[in-house]
């Protein structure tokens, strides 16, 4: 896997290059961030010709290792103005890896006002007209591609908000069931739209297997690794039964479930939107409570949520989306929340940014609190059609706050804050403040240790130990995001020593190298520093590593916690 | 003394969601677990009034005890 597919949208040409030596040990986020940092001028306009959109499967993607099928997408973000990496499941990552493609770099913008579908095969790229796809949303695009090329075709696509370069637009990835996984955060769909690419189709006919240097060592490590995933109670039992939405009740009990646009830490109707209720509903209606986002997933945290007649409403129905619509926007009906989730997949906006911006629109008086039907209309008919209101909303939480003169606007570096209140779960506040990505819980998921008691325990309500916790997790996550592994492998990796050792053995067996745990840590540190340096050159400073002011002076019940870190305490994060 | 007990996820099976219980003075989380037939290795998180506690924590009258098996998300 050493081919770099470089696509020039200004010239409508492509080149297949051999990856330079210094990229050999990189994949996923490590590679997208290294390429963006090396080739994108930090001060460029994210929607202009100098930004580049980069896709990279992880170092282990395409191998038989469990959980290794994630694709990273990177660029300068039109939402945050920072470097961005967003990873997703689906089928594309494994297809690209088997085709020997280490990264796709898409540069330039077309000079003519025409839309394209890029068709990628082992021979290279063809630039097909996409006039008949323009104006269509993601499910219709995927249906057309499956009809044209068969069910195995890989598809990356954008909906209308992506065409209109809205900063909440995501990139949708077809999953094994012809549904959608998303490069959700940071507006990468707008970057794809700026390059006039409606859709990318991947036909991997003729692709072989990913070469493995030491198959015996690989098989042994893969077995230990898979066993650790199944043995750990969170990845082996909790996630497959309840999905990520089990967190609603845990965060509610801990007083860290942001409610009514971050006014309260607990939500009266938490039980209606909880993972337990969702599980019962799915089982009683004949949906699927276990489901994987890519071939080779054994955790199966996803699900297929159906209506009362058993008809599909949505899949990949995540805690953050359900929190954002259910608690933060006060929608009590899980079916309405599921329909909003499906609409966000269809029109192609990030379901975290989408949920947070809808609550902010409620704060502004644009939508009544808790009105799930009106949210569906706004998603479908305003954001999905690009009306003037839709564009104000579709440019994200920060855009809504500015347009309506709001103060309680939960963003860091203009990216909506997800489902864990930083005042009552302080470690995650450090992650939101310092992440190179803007407010991103996955960048350093301190909830594991602050709330779930995985990887030890650090009291969520005190400041002690939070900076170190967030730093260690952000370093480890940057490395894991480079392997193509799902972030949930962290649960066993934090608690079961053999799990992390097996992950390193998988890398060593695949490439015939001798990485140590320290090397992996160094990789994580290097990635964070490359990203941080890009942001600094783009004009960011420690003054941007801050939470919105209202967290300082609005105590959140029930613990009446405030955000009380000093600037110096936060800035200690980068001391490594 | 009276305490309120809230159970979550698999702990609810064949038990309850929320219950008001009379327990002996100076009872601990471990005592409550024993009464409920939950072993300590099964326990993920115990909270009293929304704050994490360990199993040796002594309860007071009127508190809410929340018990979770080992689950998580992200």
User: What is the Cα–Cα distance from A343 to A499, expressed in whole angstroms?
Assistant: 38
What's the token pair of residue A356?
């947070």
Note whether B35 contacts A: Cβ–Cβ < 8 A: no
Contact yes or no for B8 and A453 at CB 8 A = no
pLDDT at B73: 85
Contact yes or no for B71 and A238 at CB 8 A = yes
Residue B71 C-alpha, separation from nearest chain A C-alpha, in angstroms: 5
What is the architecture of the domain spanning A214-240+425-576?
Orthogonal Bundle (1.10)
Mutate to test the interface with A, among B15, B69, B72 (most CBs of A within 10 A): B72
- A494 versus A47: the higher-pLDDT residue is A47
Task: For chain A, give percent helix, strand, coil, nearest 5.
Answer: 45, 15, 40
pLDDT, tens digit only, all 74 positions of chain B? 999 999 999 999 999 999 999 999 999 999 999 999 999 999 999 999 999 999 999 999 999 999 999 998 88
For residues A563, A564, A568 and A572, what is the CA-based torsion angle, rounded to 10 degrees? -60
- Please tell me which of the candidates B17, B49, B70 has its beta carbon nearest to residue A238: B70
Find the mean pLDDT for residues A119-138: 98
pLDDT at B74: 80
What residue segments make up the domains of chain A, in order of their start?
3-202, 214-240+425-576, 243-421
**ipTM score here?**
0.98
pLDDT band with cut points at 50, 70 and 90 for residue A281: very high
* In chain A, % of residues over pLDDT 70: 100
pLDDT digits (tens, 9 = 90+) for A505-545: 999 999 999 999 999 999 999 999 999 999 999 999 999 99
- Residues of chain B with Cβ-Cβ distance to A239 below 8 Å are 71-73
- Residues of chain A with Cβ-Cβ distance to B44 below 8 Å are 233, 452-453
**How many beta-carbon pairs under 8 angstroms link A with B?**
89
Contact yes or no for B73 and A454 at CB 8 A = no
Residue A145 C-alpha, separation from nearest chain B C-alpha, in angstroms: 32
Contact yes or no for B51 and A234 at CB 8 A = no
- Please tell me which of the candidates A242, A271, A487 has its beta carbon nearest to residue B74: A487
In what helix (H) or strand (E) does residue A533 lie, and over which residues does it extend? Answer: helix A517-537
Nearest CA in chain B to A461: B51
- Please tell me which of the candidates A255, A453, A487 has its beta carbon nearest to residue B45: A453
Helices A517-537 and A497-511: crossing angle, nearest 10°?
A: 80
User: What is the Cα–Cα distance from A318 to A301, expressed in whole angstroms?
Assistant: 9
pLDDT mean across residues, chain A: 97
Task: Using the predicted structure, report yes or no on whether residue A136 has a pLDDT greater than 80.
Answer: yes
Q: In three state form, how does the secondary structure of A304-342 look?
A: EEECCCCCEEEECCCHHHHHHHHHHCCCCCHHHHHHHHH
Residue A419 C-alpha, separation from nearest chain B C-alpha, in angstroms: 9
- Please tell me which of the candidates B50, B71, B74 has its beta carbon nearest to residue A447: B74
- Residue A314: strand pairing partners: A305
Q: In three state form, how does the secondary structure of A431-466 look?
A: HHHHCCCCCCHHHHCCHHHHCCCCCCCCCCCCCCCH
Token pair 């040796």 is found at B56
User: What is the Cα–Cα distance from B23 to A403, expressed in whole angstroms?
Assistant: 55
Residue B17 C-alpha, separation from nearest chain A C-alpha, in angstroms: 10
- Residues of chain A with Cβ-Cβ distance to B52 below 8 Å are 254, 451, 453, 457, 459-460
User: What is the Cα–Cα distance from A72 to A184, expressed in whole angstroms?
Assistant: 11
User: What is the Cα–Cα distance from A69 to A105, expressed in whole angstroms?
Assistant: 19
Note whether B4 contacts A: Cβ–Cβ < 8 A: no
pLDDT band with cut points at 50, 70 and 90 for residue A125: very high
User: What is the Cα–Cα distance from A49 to B6, expressed in whole angstroms?
Assistant: 56
Mutate to test the interface with B, among A244, A248, A250, A488 (most CBs of B within 10 A): A250
- Residue A128: strand pairing partners: A117
- Please tell me which of the candidates B45, B50, B71 has its beta carbon nearest to residue A255: B50
Mutate to test the interface with A, among B7, B15, B73 (most CBs of A within 10 A): B73
Note whether B43 contacts A: Cβ–Cβ < 8 A: no
Contact yes or no for B50 and A451 at CB 8 A = no
- Residues of chain B with Cβ-Cβ distance to A247 below 8 Å are 72-74
For residues A475, A86, A259 and B20, what is the CA-based torsion angle, rounded to 10 degrees? -60
- Please tell me which of the candidates B8, B50, B52 has its beta carbon nearest to residue A276: B8
pLDDT at A130: 98
- In 3D, which of A410, A407, A462, A464 has the Cα closest to residue A441? A410
Task: Using the predicted structure, report yes or no on whether residue A1 has a pLDDT greater than 70.
Answer: no
What phi and psi, each to the nearest 5 degrees, are found at residue A237?
-135, -50
Topology (CATH) of A243-421? 1.10.569
- Taking the CB of residue A418, how many other CB atoms lie within 10 A of it? 24
If DSSP codes are grouped into helix, strand and coil, which group holds residue B16? coil
Judged on CB neighbours under 10 Å (0-12, 13-18, 19+), B40 is exposed
pLDDT at A189: 98
Nearest CA in chain A to B73: A244
Nearest CA in chain A to B74: A244
Name residues whose C-beta falls within 8 Å of residue B37's C-beta, 6 or more positions apart in sequence. none
What's the token pair of residue A329?
């926007």
What phi and psi, each to the nearest 5 degrees, are found at residue A519?
-60, -40
- Residues of chain A with Cβ-Cβ distance to B73 below 8 Å are 238-239, 242-247, 275, 301, 319
Question: Considering the domain A3-202 in this protein, what is its CATH number?
Answer: 3.60.9.10
Find the mean pLDDT for residues A496-509: 96
Note whether B18 contacts A: Cβ–Cβ < 8 A: no
What's the token pair of residue A115?
């839309």
Contact yes or no for B68 and A276 at CB 8 A = no
Find the mean pLDDT for residues A163-168: 98
Residue A525 C-alpha, separation from nearest chain B C-alpha, in angstroms: 22
User: What is the Cα–Cα distance from A424 to A450, expressed in whole angstroms?
Assistant: 10
Domains with residue ranges and CATH for chain B:
2-69 (3.10.20.30)
pLDDT at A443: 98
């Amino acid at each position: 896997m050493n081919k770099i597919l470089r696509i020039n949208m200004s010239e409508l040409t492509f080149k297949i290059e051999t990856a330079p030596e210094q990229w050999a040990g990189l994949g996923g986020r490590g590679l997208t961030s290294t390429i963006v940092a090396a080739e994108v001028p930090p001060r460029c306009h994210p929607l202009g010709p100098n930004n580049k959109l980069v896709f990279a499967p992880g170092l282990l993607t395409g191998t038989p290792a469990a959980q290794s099928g994630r694709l990273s997408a990177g660029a300068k973000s039109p939402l945050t103005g920072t470097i961005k990496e967003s990873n997703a499941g689906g089928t594309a990552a494994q297809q690209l890896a088997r085709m020997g493609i280490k990264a796709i770099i898409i540069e330039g913008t077309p000079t003519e006002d025409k839309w394209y579908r890029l068709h990628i095969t082992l021979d290279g790229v063809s630039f097909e007209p996409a006039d008949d796809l323009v104006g269509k949303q993601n499910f219709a695009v995927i249906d057309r591609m499956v009809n044209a090329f068969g069910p195995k075709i890989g598809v990356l696509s954008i909906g209308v908000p992506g065409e209109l370069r809205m900063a909440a637009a995501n990139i949708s990835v077809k999953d094994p069931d012809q549904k959608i996984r998303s490069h959700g955060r940071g507006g990468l769909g707008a970057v794809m739209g700026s390059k006039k690419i409606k859709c990318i189709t991947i036909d991997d006919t003729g692709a072989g297997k990913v070469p493995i240097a030491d198959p015996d060592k690989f098989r042994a490590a893969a077995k230990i690794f898979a066993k650790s995933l199944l043995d750990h109670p969170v990845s082996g039992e909790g996630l497959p039964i309840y999905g990520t939405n089990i967190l609603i009740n845990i965060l509610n009990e801990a007083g860290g479930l942001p409610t009514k646009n971050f006014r309260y830490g607990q939500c009266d109707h938490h039980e209606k939107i909880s993972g337990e209720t969702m599980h019962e509903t799915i089982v009683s209606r004949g949906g699927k409570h276990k489901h994987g986002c890519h071939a080779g997933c054994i955790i199966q945290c996803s699900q297929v949520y159906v209506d009362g007649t058993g008809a599909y409403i949505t899949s990949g129905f995540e805690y953050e989306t359900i929190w954002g619509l259910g608690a933060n926007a006060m929608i009590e009906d899980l079916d309405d929340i599921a329909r909003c989730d499906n609409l966000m997949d269809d029109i192609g906006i990030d379901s975290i940014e989408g949920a947070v911006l809808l609550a902010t629109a409620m704060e502004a008086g644009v939508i009544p609190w808790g009105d799930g039907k009106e949210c569906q209309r706004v998603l479908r008919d305003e954001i999905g059609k690009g009306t003037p209101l839709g564009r104000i909303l579709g440019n994200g939480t920060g855009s809504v706050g500015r347009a309506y003169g709001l103060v309680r606007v939960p963003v860091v570096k203009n990216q909506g804050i997800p489902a864990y209140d930083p005042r009552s779960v302080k470690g995650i506040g450090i992650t939101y403040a310092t992440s190179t990505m803007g407010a991103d819980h996955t960048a350093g998921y301190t909830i594991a240790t602050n709330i779930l008691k995985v990887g030890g325990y650090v009291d969520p309500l005190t400041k002690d130990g939070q900076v170190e916790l967030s730093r260690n997790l952000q370093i480890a996550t940057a490395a894991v995001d480079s392997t193509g592994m799902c972030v949930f492998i962290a649960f066993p990796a934090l608690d079961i020593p053999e799990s992390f050792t097996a992950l390193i053995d998988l890398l060593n067996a695949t490439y015939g190298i001798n990485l140590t745990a320290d090397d992996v840590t160094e990789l994580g540190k290097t990635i964070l520093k490359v990203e941080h340096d890009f942001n600094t050159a783009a004009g960011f400073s420690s003054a941007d590593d801050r939470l919105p002011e209202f967290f300082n002076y609005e105590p959140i019940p029930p613990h009446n916690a405030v955000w009380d870190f000093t600037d110096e305490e936060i800035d200690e994060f980068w001391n490594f | 003394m009276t305490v309120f007990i809230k159970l979550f996820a698999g702990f609810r099976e064949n038990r309850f969601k929320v219950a008001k219980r009379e327990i002996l003075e100076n009872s601990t989380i471990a005592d409550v677990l024993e009464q409920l037939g939950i072993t300590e290795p099964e326990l993920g998180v115990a909270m009293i009034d929304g704050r994490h506690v360990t199993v040796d924590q002594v309860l007071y009258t009127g508190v809410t005890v929340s018990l979770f098996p080992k689950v998580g998300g992200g």
